[in-house]
Amino acid sequence: MSAQTREIIFDTETTGLDPKTGDRMVEIGCIEMIGRVETGRTFHAYFNPDRDMPPEAERVHGLSAAFLYTKPRFADTAMELLAFLGDSPLVAHNAGFDFGFLNNELELAGHQPIDYDRMVDTVALARKKHPGAKLSLDALCTRYGIDRSHRVKHGALLDAELLAQVYVELTGGRQIGLGLTALDPATDLAAQPSTNAPWHRPATDKPRRDPRPHVASPEELERHRTFIAGIAEAIWTR
């Protein structure tokens, strides 16, 4: 993947677990990354699901039916969301769940669903990198030392922000995306065949300086002896 690839990290909140049984998406949060670095551009929206909010779902994300009643319907902001997503890869945690709800809303609004070829699932990445370990977003934040103390309840934009940090760790660590230019293979030592010959610093045009002296002068030695002799009850004389 190119160092300047644009990717969207996203998360959703819903009324339940299955859009096929009438559950709806009520929140989406998206983070733009280029070269695995957050650009600061985000998309965040709440949606009126035109249905009740089950108590068990509200306990997870804290979004009540009364709060969502005043929000726009998904169809009203679908074009704005699609413009933000563009044709970029879409990264989510347990991505099949989020894709299912997003595509359900798109189809209900009369839009084409998003191709699953664009899906990047961080659960699958984590399972491959840490087989047998806990794979929840909370567990991965703990593993990588990512602060989630402000995550009292689930929230789509907050979870996307945490996931963006986890994604960087899963795909190479914090040094990724620093914009380092590739070295010319002719000068890249790592790209050259390994030999047993000692390594020498390449020649440069900088003037060579004589090494600095690291031996005390006779005057300094005399001052040191005088100083030591003046120490009362020195432990090395016992």
| Inter-helix orientation angle 122-129/156-170, to 10° | 40
Question: Left, alpha or beta for 215 (phi > 0: left; psi -120 to 50: alpha)?
Answer: beta
pLDDT of residue 226: 79
154 given a catalytic annotation:
yes
Confidence (pTM): 0.71
pLDDT of residue 158: 93
Rounded CA separation 31/40 (Å): 8
Rounded CA separation 195/193 (Å): 6
pLDDT of residue 192: 39
Q: By the 8 A CB rule, do 91 and 9 touch?
A: yes
pLDDT of residue 16: 97
pLDDT of residue 188: 39
- State CA 125 to chain mean position distance: 13
pLDDT of residue 168: 97
pLDDT, tens digit, 9 for 90 and up, residues 99-143: 999 999 999 999 999 999 999 999 999 999 999 999 999 999 999
Which of 44, 154, 214, 224 is an active site residue?
A: 154
What are the Cα distances from residue 60, in Å, to 56, 101, 141, 152? Answer: 7, 17, 18, 10
pLDDT of residue 4: 86
CATH architecture of 6-170: 2-Layer Sandwich (3.30)
The 3-state secondary structure of the chain reads CCCCCEEEEEEEEECCCCHHHCCCEEEEEEEEEECCEEEEEEEEEECCCCCCCCHHHHHHHCCCHHHHHCCCCHHHHHHHHHHHHCCCCEEECCHHHHHHHHHHHHHHCCCCCCCHHHEEEHHHHHHHHCCCCCCCHHHHHHHHCCCCCCCCCCCHHHHHHHHHHHHHHHCCCCCCCCCCCCCCCCCCHHHCCCCCCCCCCCCCCCCCCCCCCCCCCHHHHHHHHHHHHCCCCCHHHC
Q: Which residues of the chain have pLDDT under 70?
A: 1-3, 151-153, 174-216, 234-238
